[in-house]
């Protein structure tokens, strides 16, 4: 058995004296592990860092074996990622999210979304927005997607402002009024009727609250696992980065 594919490095652990078991998210073969012989050595160590995109070749005698990887660098991001607290939290959170999926199950859209986030992680507002979208897509892939196409109560496709925590369906502003304390705000960047609206930290906060609610309800509580610490760390680091330019402008004006 053998194949070749693009893969984003999620992590690695030592195996024997010089080998590494490499954990990757591949474009066509899902989250996949493989042994890299000599991977702990100085020649391959920079290549096998989380966040890098590789061309990998996998080979095994049987399909269900661990198998071995050969690797070649395609996109080297690790050096930039590890220099930034936001980058470290970003790649850690993506890895935690992808580990919720079954191994060797293809999710090509998530693979591409992961690459987009890693390529643009240094823009805190944009990367936080993309992470919310990634979590939305992850919930969809896990079978717990939200229906934001129309109001669950009126059928309207306009002025969708909230999401029902019970049905995971959108609710319009008018229908939401009597139940505001029971509904989850829908951030503007997820509203199809307001595609050009500028986003801010309030939208990001609403987005993380929204996806966090359904991840907790359908994934973390059911599997008896905690929300990963890096999720909150990523969010808070991104929001601090967003606030810094505004703070600097206030100081200059003062």
pTM across the whole model = 0.92
Successive 10-residue mean pLDDT values, the chain, 254 residues: 97 93 98 96 94 97 94 95 94 98 97 96 93 98 96 94 97 95 94 73 93 98 97 94 56 38
Question: Phi and psi of 88, rounded to 5°?
Answer: -65, -45
Tell me the chain's radius of gyration from C-alpha atoms: 20
Residue 198's pLDDT is 74
So where are the chain's domains? 2-82, 85-148+186-253
According to CATH, the topology of domain 2-82 is: OB fold (Dihydrolipoamide Acetyltransferase, E2P) (2.40.50)
Which residues touch 189 (CB under 8 Å, ≥6 apart)? 129, 132, 197, 199, 203, 207
Contact 51, 91 (CB under 8 A): yes
Residue 52's pLDDT is 97
């Amino acid at each position: 058995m053998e194949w070749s594919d693009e893969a984003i490095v999620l992590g690695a652990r030592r195996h024997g004296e010089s080998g590494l078991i490499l954990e990757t998210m591949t474009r066509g073969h899902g989250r996949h592990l493989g042994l890299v012989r000599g991977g702990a050595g100085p020649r391959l160590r920079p290549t096998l860092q989380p966040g890098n995109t590789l061309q990998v070749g996998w080979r095994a005698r049987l399909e269900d074996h661990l198998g071995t990887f050969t690797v070649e660098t395609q996109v080297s991001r690790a050096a930039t990622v590890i220099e930034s607290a936001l980058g470290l939290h970003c790649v850690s959170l993506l890895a935690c999210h992808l580990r919720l999926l079954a191994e060797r199950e293809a999710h090509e859209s998530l693979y591409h979304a992961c690459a987009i986030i890693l390529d643009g992680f240094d823009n805190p507002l944009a990367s936080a927005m993309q992470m919310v979208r990634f979590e939305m897509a992850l919930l969809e892939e896990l079978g717990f997607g939200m229906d934001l196409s129309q109001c669950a109560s009126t059928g309207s496709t306009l002025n969708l402002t909230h999401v029902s925590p019970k049905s995971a369906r959108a609710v319009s502003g008018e229908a939401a009024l009597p139940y505001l304390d029971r509904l989850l705000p829908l951030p503007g960047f997820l509203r199809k009727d307001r595609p050009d609206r500028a986003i801010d930290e309030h939208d990001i906060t609403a987005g993380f609250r929204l996806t966090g609610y359904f991840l907790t309800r359908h994934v973390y509580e059911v599997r008896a696992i905690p929300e990963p610490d890096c999720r909150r760390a990523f969010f808070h680091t991104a929001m601090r980065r967003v606030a810094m330019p505004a703070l600097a402008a206030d100081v200059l004006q003062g």
